[in-house]
Homo-oligomer: A and B are copies of this chain.
């Protein structure tokens, strides 16, 4: 592979210069960047290089551009990772089901790693909120409807108190990859015949937490992912 085009090098250097500026000025998520003109002055790049660098940083979710307000340091979410993985999964066509299986394994690995932290640490109010969500799942199932929103809310709430922000965000990112890929493969996030089993598994997660039983929690997590694996292996 030979050197990239010169114009790309300049943009790449402008990207690095803006990142270095953010770091050296100790800017934090939510802080405003200087205007485009000021960045040109400070960093010695042309207007067009700075503009393009800002667009790249925006695509990477490092900055966010608010029309009429300015450019701000973003909270650097894992959204670009989600977009990349969804695209990669869908591209893989024949292998996409296998890759979805990998996403499920990764979600399970992360959830299992939280067993010690979660067991005994989820308060009564949260447990009762989780119960409410499972009730809503049941009523969706009774009406023959999917419960993707309820599922997302359940997992977000379950992890809400987790200290490790990286594991929390990754888990949510993989939930999202899963939820976005399934419809693209013309599959439901939880297939009709697996809905009852999946609702029961969510209930069992709550029961294990209430019993403060780590082994039971781990078993419940495994049961929770089993129907998702079945759908994937039956389709491939």
Contact = CB atoms under 8 A, between A and B. Distances in A.
Interface stretch (A52-60, A137-145, A205-213): A52-60
Copies of this protein, total:
2
A91 B62 CA distance: 11
B108 A113 contact: yes
A28 B167 contact: no
A222 B2 CA distance: 43
A81 B19 CA distance: 15
Contacts of A87: 19, 23, 62, 76
A55 B101 CA distance: 31
B55 A8 contact: yes
Given A78-B81, A105-B166, 5 more contacts: A2-B66, A2-B67, A80-B80, A102-B166, A112-B113
Interface of A: 1-5, 8, 11, 15, 19, 22-23, 26-28, 52, 55-56, 58-62, 64-69, 73, 76, 78, 80-81, 83-85, 87-88, 90-91, 93, 99, 101-103, 105-106, 108-110, 112-113, 164-167, 170
